Structure 1
Amino acid sequence: MRTIVFVAPFLLETTMRFARAAAALPGVRLCGVMQEAPGGTDRQVFADLVRVDDGLSAPELIEAVELLRRRHGPPARIIGVLEPLQVQLAEARAHFGVRGTEVETAEVFRDKAKMKDRLRAAGLPVARHRLVGTAQDAVAFEAEVGFPMVLKPPAGMGAKATFRVGSREELLRAVAGLRASPSNPVLAEEFLHGQEGSCDTLTLAGVPRLTSISYYRPSCLTALENPWIQWCTVLPRRDQGPGYDDIRELGARAVRALGLDAGFTHMEWFRRPDGSLAIGEIAQRPPGAHLTRMIGLAFDMDPYRMWARAVIDDAFDGPWDRAYSVGCAYLRGIGRGRITSVTGVKQAHDAVGRAVVETKLPTPGAPKSDSYEGDGYAIVRDPRTELVEHALETIIAKLRVRYA
């Protein structure tokens, strides 16, 4: 029996899908380290649990794993899916001599400035960037790239805590508001124009074994800046050939350059108006915004088990054919406060309900989410990409979320 330690400060439903997949593998005794114990049937997924006060603390994580080691023997793997946890997981693996992503690799993925330096050194196209600790640093970078530009934390996640600035006044105000200093710099980046999407890979032995390409309508940053927009993600059925092969190659080269051995990666790509590609950033984690679930629907397989097999068994059960196009509409609306109503549900269902495979409607009375993923979602699937795009357009045109 192999002792597998699964670390998750808080067990959200998406996280539990990965935990259940790990626990279901033959010969696995799944032990958890978390801040809050799961309730109901989720508790049965774990053979043992250790609670910590701070789920992102490496010393507390190591102490918890040591307790599990005394109870069940040396762990075979120490795993987790949360992006801000990957460096601490690597430190725990190094402490106990457990196989998996090493500290240096995890740090390069986590520190976006180091990550971009590594990618650029490998000859890969990335946004020009600079760590900004003073107003003078910011003005110097402005002279290099102009406006607009983007400011974000060096260890940010996705589009969260990301700001677009379009003038000297906005730039200096943002640098001050983010409390940038030489010891606590922010990352300034060239703003990339063009189509945006993701290239998500499942890597084993340093080689991407499954690659999934998607595109956004509109971009994540646009959705973040305009909290009323009901935006969409589309996984086209055919993501190989012209317009996709160069993205696939770029993703594989990025994984090699950063040295990942096994696991999921989520890479944001931009295609500029001249057709050239650039990498926004790449994260060492499963894709969010329901993309992992969508990948499973596109290939008609279990993506959570695929991840577990890679990071626990060093195995890959594919390849699978990409039999479907899949899309997701993120539901939200104009206003602030609490959700008062969701209208147009019947009309949308009557029009495209046959293509809908999973929904979570916004809950009346709930406060408006500050996430760009919105207050609910609808996932659609069909072999025809054009039908998926039409279904998404219909959903966001007919559904209206209101707040008060």
Structure 2
Amino acid sequence: MKQPKNFIIISPHFPENFSTFAVCLRERGFNTLGIADIAYDQLSDTLKNALTEYYRVDDMNDYDQMYRAVAFFAHKYGRIDRIESHNEHWLELDAQLRTDFNVVGYNLTDLEPIKKKSSMKKQFRMLDLPVAEGRVFSDEEDAFFLAEELGYPVIVKPDSGVGAGDTYKIKSPDELTKLFNENDMTNDFIMEEFIPGDVVTFDGLCDQEGQIVFYSSLDYNIAVLETVENDSDMYFYLPREIPEDLIEMGSKIVEGFQVKERFFHFEFFRTYPNSELLPLEVNMRPPGGPTIDMFNYVNEFNIFAEYANIVKENQFKAPINRLYNCAYISRKANKIFNYTHDNEAIRQKLGESLVGIQSIPDIFSTILGTEGYIVRCPELEELFDHINYISQRQEAVS
């Protein structure tokens, strides 16, 4: 295969840490061609220096503008070899552009099994994997019929959606009535039985032949849905040791969904009380928030550079050492609780175990908090001690 040279990055500035993709691709000789809807002056200096050229559109949802931007780059630089955003929001846009410009990667005909949760469920069954019972419902009457069949509580969410947005835990017929009265339910929604258990993930990167070259996992203290519902603090962590059953099932899904030259982020339930794995959904992108950076903190490598190596020459060159367990701990500014320890005390207590403290943009704060703390330790016991120290809080005195 001829080595690619022209790599179009859709929305290269967002999220901010993804700008490193442009840096590493440029370092490996690619023409890095950015397209987004913000002014060039609003790009970071790091990103400006990493882009060969930038094309601003007024509206990224206007496909004609996006098509013209890609056509401009194709006219100026020659054949476009890759188009990628690494962002689920632009999954369909990326595929449409690849289809129209005959670019390697997911095109429009590939999307349904990786975009619709009902299609993912069908594919899981074809792979002989267990799934939560449920289906897309047609209208309110059908929703009530299905809820009675599954038994309350049930989970209702868009068949095609991103993250925990518009996801509801419905505990009774009254709550289901309220859902229909207060929300636009005209798009396709899927209803599933509620599965008691913890959410775990299998995340990683595949090479051009579909071989997994790196994998990791996330464990959450509470489900993202609960974080949104209750405005809770949360933490998640990357363990050094990955369970064998998770590797086995995750690898089977990678093969079954034919993942190639892509990051992946698969979600599972680890059920109560028998600790069995149940696949929930697939996402053909890196995990969100700071997780992709946490890959680096665990292994002391540069995952962005290794992705560029895969695209350029299909080689993952860094050793995978898994030196640390790494956690992200959120804290939210709210009126009910005060945190026991301020940032200075946390810095003094944790020392080198504290990788950094981040201020979180409002768009992510519902899940990731207003401040986020990244911590790493070789031993899980010490990691949990640090998590508890950061999370400790007391009721405010009125």
Normalising to structure 1: TM-score of the pair?
A: 0.88
Which amino acid is the alignment partner of residue 7 of structure 1? I
| Aligned CA distance change for structure 1 residues 102 and 380 (closer, same or farther; 3 Å) | same
- Alignment partners' CA distance in 1, 2:372 and 2:349: 17
Which residue pairs with 1:306 in the alignment? 306
Q: Is the 8 A contact 2:13 2:19 kept in 1?
A: no
Correspondent of 1:360 among 358, 361, 379:
358
The alpha carbon displacement at 1:335 in A equals 4.2
| Aligned CA distance change for structure 1 residues 67 and 286 (closer, same or farther; 3 Å) | same
- Alignment partners' CA distance in 2, 1:249 and 1:155: 27
- Alignment partners' CA distance in 2, 1:254 and 1:237: 22
Q: Is the 8 A contact 1:263 1:311 kept in 2?
A: no
- Alignment partners' CA distance in 1, 2:74 and 2:32: 12
Q: Residue 225 in 1 paired to residue 220 in 2?
A: no
- Alignment partners' CA distance in 2, 1:59 and 1:259: 30
The alpha carbon displacement at 1:65 in A equals 0.6
SS at match of 2:237: strand
The alpha carbon displacement at 1:245 in A equals 0.7
Percent of aligned positions that are identical: 24
Correspondent of 2:366 among 345, 349, 371:
371
| Aligned CA distance change for structure 1 residues 101 and 342 (closer, same or farther; 3 Å) | farther
| Aligned CA distance change for structure 1 residues 311 and 176 (closer, same or farther; 3 Å) | farther
Map 1:72-111 onto structure 2 (within 5 A).
Answer: 72-111=77-116
The alpha carbon displacement at 1:66 in A equals 0.5
SS at match of 1:381: strand
Q: Is the 8 A contact 2:12 2:19 kept in 1?
A: no
Unaligned runs of 5+ in 2: none
Correspondent of 1:14 among 8, 12, 17:
17
Deviations 1:281-328 (A, max 9, x none): 110111013111111111111112222333454332244121111111
| Aligned CA distance change for structure 1 residues 149 and 311 (closer, same or farther; 3 Å) | farther
Which residue pairs with 1:269 in the alignment? 268
Most deviating of 211-220 and 316-325: 316-325
Q: Is the 8 A contact 1:5 1:31 kept in 2?
A: yes
Q: Is the 8 A contact 1:109 1:283 kept in 2?
A: yes
Which residue pairs with 2:315 in the alignment? 315
Q: Is the 8 A contact 2:301 2:318 kept in 1?
A: no
RMSD, aligned α-carbons: 2.6
Q: Residue 349 in 1 paired to residue 347 in 2?
A: yes
- Alignment partners' CA distance in 1, 2:139 and 2:327: 42
- Alignment partners' CA distance in 2, 1:322 and 1:386: 16
Correspondent of 2:381 among 373, 383, 386:
386
The alpha carbon displacement at 1:398 in A equals 5.0
Aligned length: 388
| Aligned CA distance change for structure 1 residues 57 and 284 (closer, same or farther; 3 Å) | farther
Q: Is the 8 A contact 2:341 2:389 kept in 1?
A: no
Unaligned runs of 5+ in 1: none
Which residue pairs with 1:180 in the alignment? 185
| Aligned CA distance change for structure 1 residues 263 and 120 (closer, same or farther; 3 Å) | same
- Alignment partners' CA distance in 1, 2:284 and 2:52: 27
The alpha carbon displacement at 1:79 in A equals 1.5
Which 4+ stretches in 1 moved above 4 angstroms? 339-343, 366-370
The alpha carbon displacement at 1:330 in A equals 1.1
- Alignment partners' CA distance in 1, 2:213 and 2:128: 23
Normalising to structure 2: TM-score of the pair?
A: 0.90
SS at match of 1:372: helix
